[in-house]
Structure 1
């Protein structure tokens, strides 16, 4: 930078401002300095600049996985959410730092924060890490999490009305005459527990007794979910409908049902949750509970930047919508 300043006949600080695009430097002089820098192969050291300014112009997008470690970033839900978040972040001239974290020990979130590689963090999902998120919330404000709103929560979340989603799914299935409705999914993770709560609420409203035999703990990945549903079918427990925690699990269930010689929706009606792109292109097209991921991504990024600016903003809950397709009617 000193060499460029000498060649341009200006101060080092003027070179620094010009290369940063500062409008206080006349455009002709900025262009001259940039041309000299390019000619002599000068590149701004962004790491050094970030250290000096205490600002990285980067947002960290984190996928924390504790019990569902087999899930890939290529999972359709993660892909869509990451893509939408990246669009919103880059629209604000920030870069994206994507990090999938397999949680094996405490302190993982503190280490990410202390690395100072990002100006703020967006987490896709809470996994089993509610306590870890609460632990950093007092000292670290620029963080927003996609997930459920939980009792005693101190960190900021954006999410969908999971209880209402579960209730809508079961109400729809009951409305088509189904009486033996299976729940496919986990029931201990935050969002899963709320969808399961909605499932039971829908059964109660329809006058259908809850049967614990119809609760099938199901992994999140397609192949594992398919095997789990196939094992359940082998037990010959009678059922005529299924509400799945996610579209991926629902699609896996349809695959297992089809291979077992059952028709969808003739023998078994199926409803998923998320409305990923694959849902409308499956065979049959999947009835699902739509989460507005476009709204969710906008809200997460907006709340994060407001928190980065020092605002104390509250969590947001988005409505859900039943999308009826061929898998249930």
Structure 2
């Protein structure tokens, strides 16, 4: 075989290198069982002859696909899309982290019509593990799969006794921080905008109630189950705030997107923020710095969260046990609150 001939498979590369096919396979995979000098020599021969190992064949041998499933279940908000600012931010962070670890990302937006939506992905043989973004109203389904499928990690709130491994902020504390700040600014009548059918949003509402109860103002808290989609949230918020007799002095929004819809409605109704009403969002998205006025928000540190999700999933793929991570949220005070 001369220096210009094309190598078609690992066997031919092994013959050229004068080693076994197993040595070549391990060397190209970067195994430290093979000396660095041998790995570099075999890689140089492969590069010289433009040889690339067949990924499918390698995956069949290792029983790995090289792909991670990322699912977004929308049981409580079927009109939400992957273009949502929160999803775009989280997906970008996950894609970067997974790519750096050598994995592809298989993305799916799911409108649950039965209890098998997660089982179909985990049993498909298409992925090595699954990340679910948000429990929505599907916690029971996620727990049922997590009981027998180990490489599964979920972004979302933590509830005592849950089976699945989750990463997320302390949503109850976040809601408490938001309401406590509004109370400290003199707000007595506070409205919570968000649909508590979703677990994370329910926890944020519980935190608001905690703060209001401590201040003796629980009867002054009202709840508008606003949509997470801006276009859908706008008319409900406009109707709610259109009645002067029931207007709150402050709003805790379950997301930055809902908070931005509230800012738009208040501007349309000729009300000033924060003079006439204070508004606090939740998520800490980059775009919250670009609103007018700049949005006060509860930050979840999505960059740290995405890192935890990927790290814990890969550890679970390797057979490790991992505990859920509850990150501490942070109040970012800007001009709206």
Q: What's 1:314 paired with?
A: 323
8 A contact 1:18–1:34 mirrored in 2:
no
Equivalent of 1:297 in 284, 291, 306 = 306
Q: What's 2:198 paired with?
A: 189
Determine the C-alpha separation between the residues in 2 that align with 1:91 and 1:171.
40
Gaps of 5+ in 1: none
Change (3 A) 1:37 1:134: same
Deviation by residue 1:215-239 (Cα, 9 ceiling, x = unmatched):
1110001111112101112333232
Matched, 1:218 2:226: yes
Determine the C-alpha separation between the residues in 2 that align with 1:139 and 1:57.
21
8 A contact 2:196–2:205 mirrored in 1:
yes
Determine the C-alpha separation between the residues in 2 that align with 1:161 and 1:21.
40
User: How far does residue 245 in structure 1 lie from its aligned partner after superposition?
Assistant: 0.3
Determine the C-alpha separation between the residues in 2 that align with 1:108 and 1:318.
28
Matched, 1:36 2:49: yes
User: How far does residue 302 in structure 1 lie from its aligned partner after superposition?
Assistant: 1.8
Matched, 1:78 2:87: yes
User: How far does residue 312 in structure 1 lie from its aligned partner after superposition?
Assistant: 1.6
Q: What's 2:274 paired with?
A: 265
What is the TM-score when the length of structure 2 is the normalising length?
Answer: 0.88
8 A contact 2:300–2:330 mirrored in 1:
yes
Q: What's 1:240 paired with?
A: 249
Q: What's 1:47 paired with?
A: 56
Determine the C-alpha separation between the residues in 2 that align with 1:12 and 1:68.
56
Deviation by residue 1:112-163 (Cα, 9 ceiling, x = unmatched):
0111222111111001111111111121111110111124311101111111
Determine the C-alpha separation between the residues in 2 that align with 1:22 and 1:279.
43
8 A contact 2:7–2:49 mirrored in 1:
no
Determine the C-alpha separation between the residues in 2 that align with 1:174 and 1:158.
29
User: How far does residue 64 in structure 1 lie from its aligned partner after superposition?
Assistant: 1.3
Equivalent of 2:237 in 229, 244, 261 = 229
- Secondary structure of 1:210's match? helix
Deviation by residue 1:298-317 (Cα, 9 ceiling, x = unmatched):
22222212212222221111
Deviation by residue 1:168-197 (Cα, 9 ceiling, x = unmatched):
111111111111111101112111111111
Equivalent of 2:109 in 97, 100, 113 = 100
8 A contact 1:64–1:103 mirrored in 2:
yes
Q: What's 1:178 paired with?
A: 187
What is the TM-score when the length of structure 1 is the normalising length?
Answer: 0.90
Equivalent of 1:90 in 86, 99, 103 = 99
User: How far does residue 45 in structure 1 lie from its aligned partner after superposition?
Assistant: 4.2
8 A contact 2:14–2:21 mirrored in 1:
no
Deviation by residue 1:53-94 (Cα, 9 ceiling, x = unmatched):
211222222211112122121211111111222222222222
Change (3 A) 1:22 1:270: closer
Equivalent of 1:20 in 11, 28, 31 = 28
8 A contact 1:122–1:144 mirrored in 2:
yes
Determine the C-alpha separation between the residues in 2 that align with 1:225 and 1:286.
17
Between 160-169 and 27-36, report the one with greater CA deviation.
27-36
User: How far does residue 290 in structure 1 lie from its aligned partner after superposition?
Assistant: 1.0
Determine the C-alpha separation between the residues in 1 that align with 2:22 and 2:300.
50
Aligned residues: 323
Determine the C-alpha separation between the residues in 2 that align with 1:134 and 1:6.
49
